[in-house]
Amino acid sequence: MQRHRPDFLLFFIILCLVSGGLTMVYSASSVTAFTDFGRASYFFIRQCIWAGLGFVVMLLFMQQSARGLHRMAKPLFMISVLLLIAVAIPHIGTSVNGARRWLDLGPVSLQPSELAVLAVILYGSYLLDKNEHHLTRFRTGVLPPLAITLIIFALIMLEPDLGTGMIVMGTVFCLLFLGGAPLRHLAGLVSAGASGIGLLILLEPYRLSRLTVFLNPWRDPHGDGYQIIQAFYAFASGGWFGRGLGYGVGKYLWLPESHTDFIFAVIAEELGAVGAMALVALFGLYIWRGLWISLRVPDRFLSLVAGGITAMVGLSAFVNLGAVTGILPVTGVPLPFISYGGSSLLIKLAASGMLLNISRYTRAKAVPEPAYTASGPSHRPA
């Protein structure tokens, strides 16, 4: 395959997202940082370090060969499994608020589930590419990528982290769809997945409470509904053009997780509906460029990886924005590139580096797709 320059528009979109995220992390975290650590820039400086490291990793992946991405699929998956197992071991995994999701590496903490999502994308794409001519059979086509996904999902649920688990499952579903899995198999997976998630919600009282609060936050305004109600207040007070950058009041210990999961509420309060819609538009542009790249790269494996990375970022943004605006229950999924969190930012930039790398192999016109039937791709010549 002939190689050319990476997609400049996608690089510019990523740059805008990260720079905007750093700005809002400083604004949203300044009060909490000063209260807890005596320095308003505490979280901002740490996020800048992660962003710098992330851009270095992104640039390295931009220079990686296509064969290199193919070779790292299996090792990265195995590393992810080992790290997720390590998280579950006492005195190795770090527990915060009852969830054991982090590995304490001294000055920093690593969240292996973020890496696991990217590992599943690479290895799942490898298996779908390898079994391209067996996709009509569930056992040889759909089951292999589904099996590795269930392994990762089960390990993530031990933490527990249903939000990230749902992102993993949703991303792999998109991979199967893009890979040409039969519609009857996809419909069965949707039914089984919805039933399984419903059961997981019913088995944990706090998940059921989140669901009932989502339906009516004012049912418990001083308890489980407090956070989403404060987010609503932030949206309402922001109006069209906001209070001004740095002048929001929700971050003054009114809005919990103001610099992490609920940073979008601070953006809406300080930059208004116009600023919030601009951010949503940036995510829309990222998804558009990702799909554009996926459709125009001639290699099936690279096409699936590009589609999977785009789905991962798009689903994470949708779940976070949906939770903050009250469209979806709160799941604890951070807003990609924007929320404070080193692991999330590093992995999203690494994945974006892979996407930029893949963009170097695109063609001017979309790659013809095999004819699609109810049982799967027909694989007739285009």
Q: Which pLDDT score is estimated for 374? A: 46
Q: What percent of the chain has pLDDT over 90?
A: 54
> Regarding beta strands 372-373 and 109-110, do their DSSP bridges make them parallel or antiparallel, or are they unpaired?
unpaired
Q: Is the pLDDT of residue 142 over 80?
A: yes
| pLDDT tens-digit map of 196-243 | 888 888 877 777 777 777 777 887 777 778 888 999 999 999 999 999
Bigger pLDDT: 302 vs 108? 302
> Which among 153, 149, 156, 154 has a CA at the least distance from the CA of 99?
156
Q: Which pLDDT score is estimated for 269? A: 95
| pTM confidence score | 0.91
CA distance 360 to 354: 10
| pLDDT tens-digit map of 165-195 | 999 999 999 999 999 888 898 999 999 988 8
Cβ–Cβ < 8 Å for 259, 340 = yes
Q: Which pLDDT score is estimated for 211? A: 78
Q: How far is CA 114 from CA 64, 111, 382, in A?
A: 21, 6, 38
Q: Is the pLDDT of residue 371 over 70?
A: no
The rounded mean pLDDT for the chain is 88
Q: Which pLDDT score is estimated for 98? A: 63
Question: Which neighbouring-strand residues pair with 93?
Answer: 103
